[in-house]
Structure 1
Amino acid sequence: MPLVAIALGSNLGDREANIAAAISSLRSLACPERPFLVASIHDTEPDGCPAGSPRFLNTAVAFDYSGGDPLELLARTQAIERELGREPSPVRNAPRVIDIDILTFGGMTLDHPALTLPHPRIAERTFVHLPLREIVPDS
């Protein structure tokens, strides 16, 4: 089973509840016999978002994935986003109830139109790499 790392962010509605609901849904994808790691929550300025966007709460989780391949995981994380009320927006990086990004999938590299692994902007985004390093220090 691959160890997957996922970033979560929310800047609309009850941000803490949105993050908690996403974590709960992601737990259902994890191998129940293995640890499910959750980083602390960080309150951050929006980065690359439209002017006037609200602040984000960001965290990361890591777990042994008990499902299929990375694209199947992507479909499941996108379904969680929809279930929690994320709506498509024509505006790039528009405010959102929840954002779930797959950062790593074991040691796999993938260059697919829908998903790049590892996530190409981990190192550029403090709000991603700080929580990730709390739970996966060698990431």
Structure 2
Amino acid sequence: MNGIEAGLSLGANLDDRLASLRAARAAIAAIPEVSLLASAPVYETEPVGVPDEFADLSFYNTVLIIGTSLDAHKLFAQLQKVELALGRKRSIRPNVPRTIDVDLIYYDGQTIRSGGLVVPHPRWTKRRFVLQPLADVRGYLVLPGHDRRVRDILAALPPGQEIRPVQAEW
């Protein structure tokens, strides 16, 4: 394992969603100085905060845990390259459909707010589609700025944000 543990949230709601997640996982694992430590199950989730015309395009979501020796900004740049290579089109409109979305949720217990990078991810505690798969693989974690474990934050979420298991091993 490389020395730093990081958590990544992956989502896809265009084309073959499971194939997109698999391709992203393979591309991330192929980044020099990155090793795959764990893959959470895949869940199907309703889109959150999307424009009305995309409300019927459900997501497949999961979490990967990686080890890395890259600093957070270099890792983030590599993750953006993976998105681009897999057909991600950036839009000025927020929350539009995408072939793949990769977010850096946490990085070695650090708080980072520089160079366009915010870690832990600013909305991770409100998103069941991040919390459920993260709890599956690292439910005991307490991330910076919080005093509760991931699984306890998940348990305290209000009802809503429907989530359905798709595939445990992928």
Which whole-Å deviations, capped at 9, do the CAs of 1:88-127 have from their partners, x for residues lacking one? 2121111000000000010111112511111121110000
1:56 pairs, out of 59, 65, 69, with: 59
SS of equivalent to 1:8: strand
Aligned to 2:118: 116
Q: Which runs of 5+ in 1 are unaligned?
A: none
* TM-score (norm: length of structure 1): 0.92
Alignment of 1:20-39 (within 5 A): 20-29=22-31, 30-31=34-35, 36-39=37-40
State the AA in 2 paired with 1:37: A
> Where do 4+ consecutive residues of structure 1 move more than 6 Å?
none
- SS of equivalent residue, structure 2 residue 122: coil
Deviation of 1:36 (Å): 1.8
Letter in 1 for 2:61: N
- Among 85, 88, 92, the alignment partner of 1:86 is 88
TM-score after normalising by structure 2: 0.76
Alignment-mate amino acid for residue 82 of structure 1: L
Q: For residue 42 of structure 1, what is the amino acid of its counterpart?
A: Y
| Aligned residues of 2:73 and 2:115 also touching (Cα < 8 A) | no
C-alpha displacement of 1:52: 3.0
Q: Give 3-state SS (helix, strand or coil) of 1:12's partner.
A: coil
User: 1:98 corresponds to which residue?
Assistant: 100
Uncovered stretches (5+) of structure 2, i.e. residues with no partner: 142-170
Distance 1:52 1:42 in 2: 22
Greater RCO (CA < 8 Å, at least 6 residues apart): 1
Q: Count residues with an aligned counterpart.
A: 135
* Structure number with larger C-alpha Rg: 2
Partner of 2:134: 132
Match for residue 45 of structure 1? 46
Cα distance per residue 1:26-56 (max 9 Å; x no partner): 112323xxx6200000000000111132100
CA contact (8 A) 2:6 2:68 kept: yes
Contact residue 42 and residue 127 of structure 1 kept, 8 A:
yes
RMSD between aligned alpha carbons? Answer: 1.2
